Structure 1
Amino acid sequence: MFMNFLLHFEWKLRRFIMNFTPLWTAALNAFSNFIIVDEHCRIAYMNKPYTEILNVQLEDVIGKPIKSVIPTTKLPEVMASGKAHIGALMTLYDHKTGKDISFVCNRIPLIEDGEVIGGVAISTFNEVGEIYNLYSEVEKMQQQNELYQQTIEQLRKQTNPLDYIIGTSQAIQQIKSTIAIFANSGLSILLTGETGVGKEVFANALHQLSSRSTSNFVKINCAAIPKDLLESELFGYEGGAFTGAKKGGKIGKFELADGGTLLLDEIGEMPLPLQSKLLRVLQEKEVERIGGVTPIKVDVRLICSTNQNLTQLIQDGRFRADLYYRINTIELAIPPLRDRLDDIPDLCNFFVQKFNRENSSYTQGVEQEVLALMQQYTWPGNVRELEHVIERLCFLNPHSTIGIAPVIF
């Protein structure tokens, strides 16, 4: 019940943040000038006052690189760094008055799931009174938002992240104890186990229990990204570093995780040349973007996971032994579901509650006959397979208990 309340509270916070939208709409209308660009720094929108100053038609500049329209703009640099420029002084030639105008410009990257997906440049208010009223409203909402954040932080401190690791089997209890001991140590952790055992859940618990929990938890699947792109995803690149590179460049996962935790999932799929570069980053605690010349210091706690036998990969010449010892300070072997069948009732209950929340349904639970049948199955897809089975059964039984008839797995 307590965790359900926490989830509901977080949902209320998200709704609260969504209520900022009308305020920001009013804010943009109060600004004389604003431009929005996409991830490639191409103009996606420019409001009328800006088009008048530049003496252009909106339809003529949509899709054009912003540098070709405003050569002095620093918005590409902001998007490359992922950090906003607030209060920057800018000068433009005003075609309406025939004079140069200077104004304060705020340049802000738009970030979603750790990726820069666009940017906005905002400048020059209409009336001083509007500024005062707008800032007053924003300040009130920010104070209320801070109160929500503080309350949620207090709730999280009262909630043990290990509660999200479902199961009471001896194997799971032992892993929980190990996580509690080493979560705040800063040591590199290697999570091993078959596909679908939930390695990311254990990695998240390690992060949430550490002193880095207020910073980013960044994930990257080494098997899901083409090998020739993995380096740029990890370390980032400067503008023009290679064909197809964004003009403003891109920050890598290590920089995004600075001060926090980076999970390298399926580390065994990383190419050997990139393993050497990763080892150097771990030793030097700095990254160098592709095409860059200046090392960037990073403070990152590394967690790696794999479903492969890395010692066998070392013998096969596919994985560096020195990197293995570097990332394997502590190894946590996550057992397959067939070795923890006693946890199935708790897992089923957890997933039923999850899908009830997501689908606004009222599945009552799983009958004992079904649980017994599930505990006789070997679950080659592990917890992930069980989750998908429960999702399907909840859909078939939105207002009743899951019985034996529709069970298919």
Structure 2
Amino acid sequence: MFRAFSDVWKPIDMMTPLKGGQERPLTSFTFPLSGTFQELIDAIKSHPGENAVLLDSEHVPQGVIDPSMLISLLWEETRRLSSSMSMLMDTVNDAVTVIDQNNTVIGWNKKAEDLYGIAGTTIVGEDIQNFFSSLVVTHVINTDLPKKKIIRENYHQPLPGTHVLINASSITNGDEVIGSVCAERDITEIVLLHNELSKASSEVRQLKKEITKIHRPNTAFGKIAGHSKGLQKTVSLSQRVANTNAAVMIRGESGTGKELFAEAIHEESSRHNNPFVVINCGAIPASLFESELFGYQAGAFTGADRQGRQGKFEAAHKGTIFLDEIGEMPLEMQVKLLRVLQNKCFYRVGGNDLVEVDVRVIAATHRDLEQMISDGSFRQDLYYRINVVSIEIPPLRQRKEDILDLIYLFIREFCLQQGRDLSQMAPEVMPFMLNYPWPGNVRELRNVVERMVILAEEDLILEDHLPETIRFQKYNLAVSDPDSTLTDITDRAEREVILQALEGCSGDKSKAARKLGVPRSTLYYKMKKLSLR
């Protein structure tokens, strides 16, 4: 983008000053000094052959400029922009490619030269398709696609043996697509490293005890695999809050590892030598909730144990109680739970003796508790009591760089379980694993890897070993079941659009509603109708 014209114009060199009393030229038009070069050029096109009278902020004429005088000034500005762009491209740590609408390379930085071994002097000015057969950078300027196309964190193999994650975007001038730019992060070393790890099957089997000792985590959080920024930010926050007594709310989609984080927080706390008790609030019938949490006295109800029984809170005394899926807890139990958290004591069902407990509470949910409060299905006072510190676990699709770590961790785990050599993953399988959205997150990934290890023959995982849901995953909404009704197709389309909007807004429903141009209530209704959480 050009700077304001007033930042660089030179009255002595580039224009004729108006003297006192001198009238402005007859064939002229006015232009503000605060305008840009592009605006000045557009104005000159609209007034061919006329001089431009430049006005200051008070609309007082400051001088006259002839269109022919712009050439040297525009050249100076172009050189400045070109120099800045060249320095920027060679400073970033990604391989940057810029092409025009004819697929001609117009930008190629030093990192791209190192990654592909092609000098800039060789490729700049040439058709990029003369060097590469499959490219994301050309995909985003396809005329069949929307005018502005953006791709984020897309796994790609531009050349055999080269693995990259790509960010790409079309370049537009108004409504016209004039080219595209892409930045490629090289992950070849990571992929090759994991493949080499898989090939060393005999050494791994002989030294598995030593490897287990070497890789034994120094902290409870060492069991949480992944190095993405989003996950490490969550781990860092969890570590800071672990050695306190603050109530923690862990939020995240199903399968992201909420219980793993809760247990790590407990093990890193001063309560680690005391019990860690798990309660799945979604698996307890409403009629048994109170006795499950607080226990009961002998003969409290028909079928009760003659000795009575202690509840989960008593069992967790001096330790930590983990209330998983707390959004499923009935309203009447929420009142009783709040009272226990406030008073730190309760009565067993059918009992008269006060039971005092000292427990730390960690809760978890995948539901929108704020909306549940608005709907009247979750108590606001309980929400504030258990939500002192909120920890958000990002879904797997938002941290693709962790998928490789998890895949090879699970391959090693299941191969050791079955006493077989480490399986190797065929290169064609990797794009499926990286591009699949993993709605079941880490839990789904683990199950898929276990299946592939079991089915693998001769210690090689092939595309055929993938589940059909991954192998035949469709990314184009236009490809649908020919037997689908119009309602089915509409629901699928709405579901995909809403998911993309939520992902682009990091799960913020208010922002997603604004992005979609609908009231928030409409978005909530659609999400409930489509079973989106």
Instruction: Specify the TM-score bucket, using the shorter chain as the normaliser.
Output: 0.5 to 0.7
Alpha-carbon distance, 1:7 to partner: 10
Aligned with residue 208 of structure 1, among 267, 270, 273 = 267
Alpha-carbon distance, 1:404 to partner: 2.5
Alpha-carbon distance, 1:369 to partner: 3.1
Could you tell me whether the CA contact under 8 Å between 1:366 and 1:403 is conserved in 2?
Answer: yes
Alpha-carbon distance, 1:399 to partner: 5.3
SS in 1 for 2:463: coil
Q: Work out the percentage of aligned pairs sharing the same amino acid.
A: 46
Could you tell me whether the CA contact under 8 Å between 1:264 and 1:305 is conserved in 2?
Answer: yes
Report whether the alignment pairs 1:374 with 2:424: no
Query: Which residue of 1 is the match for residue 288 of structure 2?
Result: 229
Separation of aligned partners in 2, 1:180 and 1:366: 34
Separation of aligned partners in 1, 2:262 and 2:420: 30
Alpha-carbon distance, 1:255 to partner: 0.9
Amino acid at match of 1:390: V
Separation of aligned partners in 2, 1:8 and 1:386: 22
Bigger RCO (CA 8 Å, 6+ sep): 1
Once the two structures are superposed, what CA deviation does each residue of 1:187-219 show, in whole Å capped at 9, x if it has no partner?
Answer: 100011111111111111101111111111110
Could you tell me whether the CA contact under 8 Å between 2:255 and 2:440 is conserved in 1?
Answer: yes
Query: Which residue of 2 is the match for residue 186 of structure 1?
Result: 245
Count residues in correspondence. 262
Judging changes above 3 Å, is the alpha-carbon distance between structure 1 residues 164 and 368 closer, same or farther for their aligned structure 2 residues? farther
Query: Which residue of 1 is the match for residue 359 of structure 2?
Result: 300
Could you tell me whether the CA contact under 8 Å between 1:362 and 1:398 is conserved in 2?
Answer: no
Structure 2 alignment gaps of length 5 or more: 1-203, 471-533
Which aligned pairs between 1:7-406 and structure 2 lie closer than 5 A?
Answer: 159-397=218-456, 400-406=459-465
Separation of aligned partners in 2, 1:193 and 1:257: 24
Separation of aligned partners in 2, 1:6 and 1:227: 49
SS in 2 for 1:219: strand
SS in 2 for 1:395: helix
Once the two structures are superposed, what CA deviation does each residue of 1:92-130 show, in whole Å capped at 9, x if it has no partner?
Answer: xxxxxxxxxxxxxxxxxxxxxxxxxxxxxxxxxxxxxxx
Judging changes above 3 Å, is the alpha-carbon distance between structure 1 residues 393 and 313 closer, same or farther for their aligned structure 2 residues? same
Amino acid at match of 1:264: L
Alpha-carbon distance, 1:358 to partner: 2.7
Query: Which residue of 2 is the match for residue 45 of structure 1?
Result: none
Judging changes above 3 Å, is the alpha-carbon distance between structure 1 residues 5 and 312 closer, same or farther for their aligned structure 2 residues? farther
Could you tell me whether the CA contact under 8 Å between 2:415 and 2:423 is conserved in 1?
Answer: no
Could you tell me whether the CA contact under 8 Å between 1:255 and 1:298 is conserved in 2?
Answer: yes
Amino acid at match of 1:248: Q
Once the two structures are superposed, what CA deviation does each residue of 1:257-310 show, in whole Å capped at 9, x if it has no partner?
Answer: 111111100000101111011001111112321011111111111100001000
Structure 1 alignment gaps of length 5 or more: 10-154
Alpha-carbon distance, 1:402 to partner: 1.9
Separation of aligned partners in 2, 1:220 and 1:337: 25
TM-score by structure 2 length? 0.47
Please identify, of 362-371 and 272-281, the stretch whose mean Cα deviation from structure 2 is larger. Answer: 362-371
Judging changes above 3 Å, is the alpha-carbon distance between structure 1 residues 395 and 330 closer, same or farther for their aligned structure 2 residues? same
Separation of aligned partners in 1, 2:451 and 2:354: 49
Could you tell me whether the CA contact under 8 Å between 2:423 and 2:453 is conserved in 1?
Answer: no
Separation of aligned partners in 2, 1:389 and 1:364: 14
Once the two structures are superposed, what CA deviation does each residue of 1:43-68 show, in whole Å capped at 9, x if it has no partner?
Answer: xxxxxxxxxxxxxxxxxxxxxxxxxx
Alpha-carbon distance, 1:382 to partner: 1.1
Deviant stretches of 4+, over 6 Å: 6-9
Separation of aligned partners in 1, 2:416 and 2:287: 40
Separation of aligned partners in 2, 1:8 and 1:363: 15
SS in 1 for 2:401: helix
TM-score by structure 1 length? 0.61
Report whether the alignment pairs 1:407 with 2:407: no
Alpha-carbon distance, 1:162 to partner: 1.1
Once the two structures are superposed, what CA deviation does each residue of 1:149-181 show, in whole Å capped at 9, x if it has no partner?
Answer: xxxxxx98x721111111111100101110111
CA-based RMSD of the aligned residues comes to 2.2
Separation of aligned partners in 2, 1:265 and 1:7: 33
Separation of aligned partners in 2, 1:399 and 1:321: 57
Larger radius of gyration: 2
Amino acid at match of 2:362: I
Amino acid at match of 1:247: R
Amino acid at match of 2:231: I
Could you tell me whether the CA contact under 8 Å between 1:222 and 1:265 is conserved in 2?
Answer: yes
